[in-house]
Amino acid sequence: MMEQEKVLKNIVGVRFKEKGKTYTFDATNVELNKGDKTIVNTENGCAIGVVMTEVMRLPEDKLPDDLKKVIRKATGDDLKVEEENIGVEKEAFAFCAERIKERELPMKLVDVERLFDKTKMIFYFIAENRVDFRELVKDLVQKFRTRIELRQIWVRSEARITGGMGICGRELCCSSFLNNFAPVSIKMAKEQSMLLNPEKISGLCGRLMCCLAFEYDDYASVKKNIPKCGKTVYTPEGRGKVIRQNVLEEKVVVRLEEEREIEVSVHDIMEKKL
């Protein structure tokens, strides 16, 4: 009996904010190209975004059951609505920031989002503790005559929204390509032999840099085969102690018994004399 032919769907990645996560949508029956503006169905209703990927053909059984669909390629009228919403968002940001200052609320406004259908506005903010913003909500409702939601986010999300340059000289990972925040620990910095200076291992958000997690598994794997600092080993030039590790090149620096230092590949050292 012949295997049943798999049903393929056209899939695209869509981003809603200039600095934000790319989400996957079902683009079946809609002709799209990378860079197109498109209207998609989301949990909050219709939304407009930019197609960030070329169309991909994937089997239906490899896709999530709740995959949302692309409704259409954005029209001229859709672009006018988007432009109007952006203008209102800028006005709302300025107004809300002013009211926060006047009411002396311990919070920082980060971003404002108006839903495409204009039925709701979301104000994103950061704060160290819980904030009583009930009076602020009244101000916003009175001003914009729509549903208002204040949503507290954490500092990493703020960095993703605002963007910036990292100490490496490149655009922040979280605002350029990183889709999800992976857990980052001080152990990862130690494993990569980094100086535990907060200024050197922290991002603009003040938290440990996301890039510490990128190569952690590789470092941990390679270091299993590299002698630890302080360990006595035998090299082709004699016995000595490991004083430094060069993980990327799989080498160690050994201080020989005559106080001379040499760099040697881990493949050329022995823990016992043959």
Asked if 65 and 86 sit in the same domain, the reply is no
Q: Is residue 48 part of a domain?
A: yes
Q: How confident is the model at residue 130 (pLDDT cuts 50, 70, 90)?
A: very high
Tell me the per-residue pLDDT of 41-52, one tens digit each, with 9 for 90 and over. 998 889 999 999
Distances (CA, A) of 64 to 9, 11, 29, 78: 12, 12, 18, 28
CA dist 178 and 21 (Å) reads 7
Q: Residues with Cβ < 8 Å from 77, sequence gap 6 or more?
A: none
pLDDT at residue 117 greater than cutoff 90: yes
pLDDT at residue 274 greater than cutoff 60: no
Q: Is residue 136 part of a domain?
A: yes
pLDDT at residue 3 greater than cutoff 70: no
Q: Is residue 273 part of a domain?
A: no
Tell me the per-residue pLDDT of 131-178, one tens digit each, with 9 for 90 and over. 999 999 999 999 999 999 999 998 888 887 778 888 888 888 887 777
User: Regarding predicted confidence, which is higher, 192 or 14?
Assistant: 14
Tell me the per-residue pLDDT of 17-35, one tens digit each, with 9 for 90 and over. 876 678 899 998 899 999 9
User: Regarding predicted confidence, which is higher, 48 or 64?
Assistant: 48
Q: How confident is the model at residue 219 (pLDDT cuts 50, 70, 90)?
A: confident
Asked if 146 and 83 sit in the same domain, the reply is yes
CA dist 257 and 46 (Å) reads 72
List the single range of 46-60, 133-147, 219-233 with lowest mean pLDDT. Answer: 219-233
pLDDT at residue 62 greater than cutoff 70: yes
What is the residue range of 111's domain? 79-153
For residue 200, the model assigns a pLDDT of 85
For residue 271, the model assigns a pLDDT of 66
CA dist 93 and 66 (Å) reads 33
Asked if 165 and 149 sit in the same domain, the reply is no
Q: Is residue 88 part of a domain?
A: yes
HEC string of 106-120?
CCEEEEEEECCCCCE
Boundary of a domain, candidates 32, 51, 74: 74
Query: Whole-model pTM?
Result: 0.74
The CATH number of the domain where 109 resides is what?
3.30.300
Asked if 28 and 68 sit in the same domain, the reply is yes
Q: What 3-state class would DSSP assign to 140?
A: helix
Boundary of a domain, candidates 20, 42, 74: 74
pLDDT at residue 129 greater than cutoff 70: yes
Token couple for 7: 């049903």
Q: Is residue 2 part of a domain?
A: no
When divided into structural domains, the chain yields a total of: 4
User: Regarding predicted confidence, which is higher, 190 or 112?
Assistant: 112
Q: Are 233 and 255 in contact (CB under 8 A)?
A: no
Asked if 202 and 262 sit in the same domain, the reply is no
For residue 1, the model assigns a pLDDT of 39
What average pLDDT score do residues 93-115 get?
96
Give me the count of residues in the chain. 274
Q: Is residue 207 part of a domain?
A: yes
For residue 193, the model assigns a pLDDT of 78
Tell me the per-residue pLDDT of 65-102, one tens digit each, with 9 for 90 and over. 889 999 999 999 999 999 999 999 999 999 999 999 99
The crossing angle, in degrees rounded to 10, of helices 134-144 and 76-102 is: 140
pLDDT at residue 2 greater than cutoff 50: no
